[in-house]
Amino acid sequence: MTHKPGIVITGASGRMGQMLIKTVLESDKATLVGAVEREGHAWVGRDVGEMMGGQPVGVTVTADALEAFSKAQAVIDFTAPEATLAFSKLAAQARAVHVIGTTGMTDEQIAQLEPASRHAVIVRAGNMSLGVNLLVQLTKKVAAALDEDFDIEVIEAHHHHKVDAPSGTALMLGEAAAEGRGVKLADVRDSGRDGITGARKRGDIGFTAIRGGDIVGEHDVLFAAAGERIVLRHLATDRGIFARGALKAALWGQDKGPGQYDMVDVLGL
């Protein structure tokens, strides 16, 4: 690629925002052209390199997302559902590829991305890592091979700052297991057991969320039957895996037509 796409990072001061800025600055395939934060945030008006504790990089953090997006070929967005919905409209206006890592979006919010995807490329995934997207494929295969004698449980663990549960990844894995079984996740989902719940319902897919300390992200898919268990596991120890996947998606989207894509498309899995 001779031309280096310009990238804007939203939620610049966040855990993922800072990792994404570092990843883009270190890349020889893309250029950092903007960094966006909420109106009133202490980083707005300041150089993003300095705010991250390093040398100035010549990019001033702004709250004017449209102005930033209009100079970019891609927006990488790991923020919050309401912000992501607003950014999808602005990225489409700027005809910039919108890479969405934000989790916790409702089905209604996801449906609201559709108008933007008629004008621009949207790549959205609850997990941008190669390992998890491979695990999704494996989960689908294992679920398809086993019958309901095997109870399926998705168990996830994250840091204590995480605001949504189950995680976006856990939902991807649950969807994959349901698809493998030929059922709809909404019909078999069992989340948040507490109290006298009754015995486990055959065919249900259960979810458990653990929150604590600085856990980056851990996911198990458990297939439990009488006398044996299979556990498929992914352990994330470095947020760089998500940032590298997101940058790959931003570059991949440059020559694609408007529409909604995911990391399975990007990685060709």
Binding residues for NADP(+): 38
158 binds ligand LZUJQKHR (CB under 6 A): yes
Applying CB under 6 A, which of residues 5, 6, 11, 253 lies at the interface with ligand NAI? 11
Q: By rule CB under 6 A, what string of x and - marks binding of each residue 125-164 to ligand NAI?
A: xxxx------------------------------------
Applying CB under 6 A, which of residues 23, 88, 103, 133 lies at the interface with ligand NAI? 103
Applying CB under 6 A, which of residues 79, 127, 133, 139 lies at the interface with ligand LZUJQKHR? 127
The two tokens of residue 133 are 């997207």
Q: Answer yes or no: are the C-beta atoms of 88 and 113 closer than 8 Å.
A: yes
Nearest in space to 7 (alpha carbons), one of 53, 57, 54:
57
17 binds ligand NAI (CB under 6 A): yes
| φ, ψ (nearest 5 deg) of residue 53 | 90, 15
62 binds ligand NAI (CB under 6 A): no
Q: By rule CB under 6 A, what string of x and - marks binding of each residue 101-120 to ligand LZUJQKHR?
A: --x-----------------
245 binds ligand LZUJQKHR (CB under 6 A): no
| φ, ψ (nearest 5 deg) of residue 31 | -125, 140
Task: Please give the positions annotated as active site.
Answer: 158, 162
79 binds ligand NAI (CB under 6 A): yes
State the sign of the Cα–Cα–Cα–Cα dihedral 149, 230, 160, 186.
negative
Q: Cite the DSSP H helix spans in the chain.
A: 15-26, 48-51, 65-69, 81-93, 107-111, 114-117, 130-145, 168-181, 185-188, 240-252, 263-267
Nearest in space to 99 (alpha carbons), one of 87, 109, 112, 114:
87
Question: Which residues sit at the interface with ligand NAI, rule CB under 6 A?
Answer: 10-11, 13-17, 36-38, 41, 78-80, 83, 101-104, 125-128, 168, 242
